[in-house]
Amino acid sequence: MSTQHLVQAEDIVLMHGSHLALDSSSFTLPAGGVTAVIGPNGSGKSTLLQAIAGILEPSAGRIQVLGASVEQMRPRISYVMQSVVYPVGTPLTVRDVVRMGRFSTRGWFKPFGADDRKAVKDAMGLMNIEDLAHRHLEELSGGQRQRVYVAQGVAQGHEILMLDEPMTGLDIVSKRIIDDVVHAETEHGHSVVLTTHDLDEAAAADHVLLLNGSVVASGPPEQVLTREHLETVYGLGALHSPASALVDPPHENC
């Protein structure tokens, strides 16, 4: 993995209107790998992704992405939201939605070229949705629809793929396909930042950022996903699951 910083945040404060979503926090994220952002509901995970993607401007502090301003880097960031609202009855096919991933860099009206068509075809193949190309979004299951949105993000020319809880509530097939694509992104030199509630998913990442209204810990999974950190954030009663045993530091023999 690259030693360059993907994200550098200095004393950032994030607000939604009058609501404080993330209190003053500083951290760095490494480039070239998978970063998992975890924390309980309301901890600031989605808000932080919006700030890194340039959708939400910090109320205080500064964020840089690959050493540049978020505004400069925005065309190189592909952001897939947790849920996408679409008008029921809109005659959008799966292929139409994936093609939209190309609009951010080429514009809405420029004719598609060979590179555009290849990017769309490759993204649909990766997400195993080629057989759904002519179906409408409202005809799809939740898992199929989420794969379409991830394909749209992959089709966009990007260096950074950001996913807001991409596998929450999905069937096992869709989870496996999305997980494979997430980890394959790094083989192409891309960086991935995703939010998750799944400790196993976080443990498989290269870097973990633990939030609870501010940054609690940041670093490799074995340093962040400790029982002490998780009990501090989630409470004592939240850790009676097999997943918690996977992130405990090893104990020395006595």
- Residue 187: what pLDDT? 87
What CATH number did the domain enclosing 213 receive?
Answer: 3.40.50.300
In this structure, is residue 107 part of a structural domain?
Answer: yes
In this structure, is residue 207 part of a structural domain?
Answer: yes
In this structure, is residue 214 part of a structural domain?
Answer: yes
Tell me the average pLDDT across 112-117.
86
Place of tokens 């989605």: 46
In this structure, is residue 190 part of a structural domain?
Answer: yes
In this structure, is residue 246 part of a structural domain?
Answer: no
pLDDT (tens digit, 9 = 90+) per residue, 137-161?
A: 888 888 899 999 999 999 987 899 9
In this structure, is residue 254 part of a structural domain?
Answer: no
Other beta carbons within 10 Å of 69 = 12
- H/E stretch holding 25 reads strand 19-30
Q: How far apart are CA 186 and CA 193, in angstroms?
A: 11
In this structure, is residue 244 part of a structural domain?
Answer: no
% pLDDT > 70, the chain: 85
- Residue 107: what pLDDT? 59
Tell me the average pLDDT across 73-88.
78
Q: How many domains does the structure of the chain reveal?
A: 1
pLDDT (tens digit, 9 = 90+) per residue, 180-212?
A: 999 889 888 899 999 999 999 999 999 999 999
Q: How far apart are CA 112 and CA 107, in angstroms?
A: 10
In this structure, is residue 215 part of a structural domain?
Answer: yes
Domain region containing 176: 5-238
Phi, psi at 201, each rounded to 5°: -65, -40
